[in-house]
Chain A
Amino acid sequence: MEDRSSFSRVGLMPIGEILSLTGLLLTPLVTAGEPFAYVSNEYDDTVTVFDTAADEVVATINVGDRPRGIGLSPDGRKLYLALGNEDSIGVVDTVSREMVERLPAGSDPEAFALSPDGKRLYISNEDANTATVIDTASGKALATLPVGVEPEGVAVSPDGRWVYVTSESTNTVSVIDTHKNEVIDTILVGSRPRAAAFSPDGRRAYVSAEIGGVVSVIEVDRHEIMGEIRLSIPGEFVRPMGVVVSPDGSRVYVSTGRANHVAIIDNASLEVLRYVAVGERVWGLALTPDGKKLYTANGGSHNVSVINTDTSEVTATIPTGKGPWGIVIDTHHEK
C-alpha cells in the first residue's frame, strides 16, 4: 500500500479554473503521486470523491442544492461549490468532508474561479448579468460588476491579473482588471460562449462557444481574438463546452457536450488532432498535474471517463452521482 501521506496535490478545475492554479502546477511543490478528485453532481446535490491512483470512488459528500462550479483553495483544504439554487458558494472541509460554510454569492451562481492566492472568488451570476468578487476570508462581496447577458464561465489568468467572464446571450467575454476590479474590455466571440481557460504562460486564452461550434483563441496581452478552431464530427452536433490546457501548454482539451467526445487540439497549429469518445453529455474536464490523465464529467451517463493522454484512449470509467458537472483535482492537501 502506498504511503499517501507523502503525496502533494495540485488542484485542477474543470472548465478553465485550472488556470488559477497553473502557477502552482509548475512549482517544485509538485511531486509524484496521484491525488483525490472531486466531482460536483448537479442532480443529486452531492460531490463524488475518487482516488486518481486507483480511479476508484472513496467517498460521497452531501452538499447544497444544485452544485455545479467547483474549485479548491490553493492549500487544498477548502472545496468551493457554486450552489445555484441556494444563491451561495458552499465550502467543504476536505479533511472532514463536511460542508462548513456558505458564502453569499449573488443570484444563481453557476461557475466561478479562485485567484491563484485563494483570496478572491470571481463568480458569474447568470440571471443578474453580473460578476461578483468575494473576499474568501470574510465572505464579503467586494464588488459586483455588470457583464454581458447570462454570464457563465469564469477564468483567472495564472498571474491573477485578468478575469475572463463569458456571457452566453451577448456572445461576449468581459475582461476584468483585478487591480481595479473593473471591466476594462469586452471581446466578441462565438455564439453562446461557455467556458474559458488560460494557457499556463498566460499568453493565450481559449473560449468555447456551444452554439457557434468553435473555440476562440484570444491573445491576452491585447484581449483580441487571434484565431478560431472549429470542432466538427460527422453526424454529430458538436457543442464545445469545457476547456483545459495541458501543463506544458502543448495541448488544449475541449469537451463537446451531447456529441460525447473530447477534442484534442494542438496548441501550435490550432488544429484538432483527434476526437476521443467518452460518456454522454460530457462537460467538465480536469488533468492530473503531470498531464498524463484527463478526466471528463459525463452528465448524461452519470460517470467520469479517464483518458490516457499519451495514447488518447479511455482507460477507465468511474461511476458518480447524478449529473456530474465539474471536476477538480486536489494536489496539495495531504490525505
Chain B
Amino acid sequence: METRRTIDWRISAGIVVVTPATTMKGLVCVLSLVVISLALSPKPRAVGTEPELITIGVLLAATSDGATEEIEAYRGAVLGLEEANVLAGFFGRRFELSVTRVKGAAEAAAEATRLIERNRAVALISNLNQDAFLAVQSVVHEAEVLLLNCSTRADGLRTNSFPFSFHVEVSNRDYLFALGNCLVSGKNHRRWFLVRGDDSEGEQWEEMVRAFISGANGEIAGVSTVSMKSEGECYNFDSEMLENSRASLVVVGLRGEQLSSFLKSFARLGISLPLALAHFGFDAQEERMAWVGSGPVYWPSIWSRMLVRYSGRELNSRYHKRFNRWMDGDAWGNWAAVKLVAEAVIRTPRANGRSLRAYLERQAPFDGHKGAPLTFDLQRRQLRHTLYVLEMRAPLNEDIEDQLEVVSRFQMVSSDTNARPIGVK
C-alpha cells in the first residue's frame, strides 16, 4: 500500500496528520494548506494581528490498521486542542497538532526530528512503546524540546536524567500500588495467584508484586507463567493448580495476545474467582461486552467514564458529545498533555523548551478534573494524579454499564510514598 494515500488534512480543526513516508511534495502541500487555512480562519481577539501558531507534535504507534481518528489517544489530544484553542484565541495564539504514526525506534527518532526541525513543534506527546520513547527522548534532549509520555509505563524511565521528559502516564508500580491497596485493604483479598509472562519483564513484575504484597500483609498463593514466544497461541490455564492454591483472586500481569488468550481460557473454565488485570482494563465497552467470565474483574486506570465529581461528569460529557464515545485513560492522558502544554505556553513569555520546562517544574497546579491540583514529582518527572480502580461485576446482563463502578481512588503524593488511598467512591 502506498503510504501517501494515508495523508490526511484536517486543517480547520488545527490538526495535520502525516505518515513517516510522506514525501516532501506532500509536506509542502500540507504546509500550504495550513497557511491558507490560517489566512481564512477567524481572527482571534488580538484584533489586527495574525494569531501566533504553536505546533504540538503527537507520536502514535502504527501498531494497528485502524484509522488515526479511531485511536482514543488521538481523540483525547483533539479535545485538548479544541479547548486549548478557546483559551489561546483570547490571547492571540493558536495551537495546531501535527500527528504522525510510526513503527519502531528509528522511525520514531526520525519523525521526532522532523517535527522539531521542520514543524517547529514546541512539545512532543509520545504514545509509543519503551524503545521508541527512548529514541525520541534522545532527540528532544538534544533539541531541548518538551516530551510528554502518555503510554510507556516502565518504572526505569522515571528518572530526572532527562529534564525535558515528563510522564503523564503512570508507571507499573503506581498502578500496582493503587490496585493492590484496593484489593487488600478494600476487598480483603490477601492470597494472590499470579499469572505472568515467562520473560524478564514478567520476572520483574512478579518481583514487584512480591515486594508489594509482603508489605501489605498478604501472600502469593501461586504463580503460573505464559510463554511469550508464541503469539496468539491458546493458553491452557491449569485450574487444578489454582484450586489447590486456595487463592482469593487471580492477578494477571499479561498484555496483548497473551492476555487475550488467557482471558478466553479463564472464562471457559467458569472460575468465579475475582480477576485483577494489572496492565490492561476493560475500558472500552466492546471489551466489556466480549467478557464472558463469571467473576468480578478489577483494573486500575487514570480515567473512567463513571467519574462524576470534580467536574468529571462535565469532561466526560464534552468528550462524549464530541466523539460519541466515552473517554478512557489513553484519551485523558493526551487531553491532559495537550492542555498542560497549552497552559505552559499561555502562562510563559516565550514558547520554547526551556521556558515550558521551567513552567512545569514550578509546580503550577494543573486541573485534570480530578479534584486536586496536579503537579509533577520532579525526581521521577511524573505527574502526580489520582488513580482509580474499576470493578466490572459479572455475570453481565443487558445493562452492562450498570455493572461498572469506580471502587477506589488513590492520590499519588510523592516518589517515596508513591500513592495513598483517598477513599472509596
Contacts and interface: CB of A to CB of B under 8 A. Distances in A.
Interface string B71-105: 00000000000010011001100000000000000
Contacts of B318: 127, 149
A211 B346 contact: no
Given A150-B311, A211-B373, A188 B366 contact: no
A170 B373 contact: no
Interface in B319-368: 321, 343, 346-347, 364-367
A235 B311 CA distance: 24
B172 interface: no
B347 A237 contact: no
A35 interface: no
Nearest to A148: B86
B113 interface: no
Contacts of A237: 372
A168 interface: yes
B132 to A, nearest CB: 31
B317 interface: yes
Contacts of B87: 148-149, 170-172
A253 B343 CA distance: 29
B361 to A, nearest CB: 17
Given A129-B86, A149-B83, A188 B91 contact: yes
Interface string B231-257: 000000000000000000000000000
A169 B366 CA distance: 10
A294 B311 CA distance: 28
Nearest to B368: A211
B317 A211 contact: no
Contact of A213 (B343, B347, B373): B373
B93 to A, nearest CB: 12
Interface in A156-176: 168-172
Contacts of B4: none
A127 B373 contact: no
A237 B365 CA distance: 12
Nearest to B342: A170
Contacts of A188: 90-91, 346-347
A255 to B, nearest CB: 16
A169 B310 CA distance: 12
A305 to B, nearest CB: 23
A298 to B, nearest CB: 17
A319 interface: no
Interface residues of B, number: 21
A330 interface: no
Interface string B288-314: 000000000000000000000001001
Contacts of B10: none
A191 interface: yes
Contacts of A172: 87, 90
Contacts of A191: 364-367, 373
Nearest to B374: A211
A186 interface: yes
A127 B315 CA distance: 9
B337 to A, nearest CB: 15
B372 A169 contact: no
A126 interface: yes
Contacts of B364: 191
B411 to A, nearest CB: 9
- Of A126, A148, A168, A169, the most chain B CB neighbours within 10 A belong to A169
A26 B83 CA distance: 42
Given A171-B87, A191-B367, A192-B367, A211 B314 contact: no
Nearest to A237: B372
Nearest to B89: A186
A129 B314 CA distance: 11
A212 interface: yes
Shortest beta-carbon contacts, A-B, top 3: A186-B90, A211-B367, A170-B87
Interface of B: 45, 83, 86-87, 90-91, 311, 314-315, 317-318, 321, 343, 346-347, 364-367, 372-373
23 contacts: A126-B314, A127-B321, A148-B87, A148-B90, A149-B87, A149-B318, A168-B367, A169-B314, A169-B367, A170-B83, A170-B87, A171-B87, A171-B367, A186-B45, A188-B90, A188-B91, A188-B346, A191-B364, A192-B311, A211-B366, A211-B372, A213-B365, A237-B372
Given A170-B87, A186-B45, 7 more contacts: A127-B317, A148-B90, A168-B311, A188-B91, A191-B366, A211-B373, A237-B372
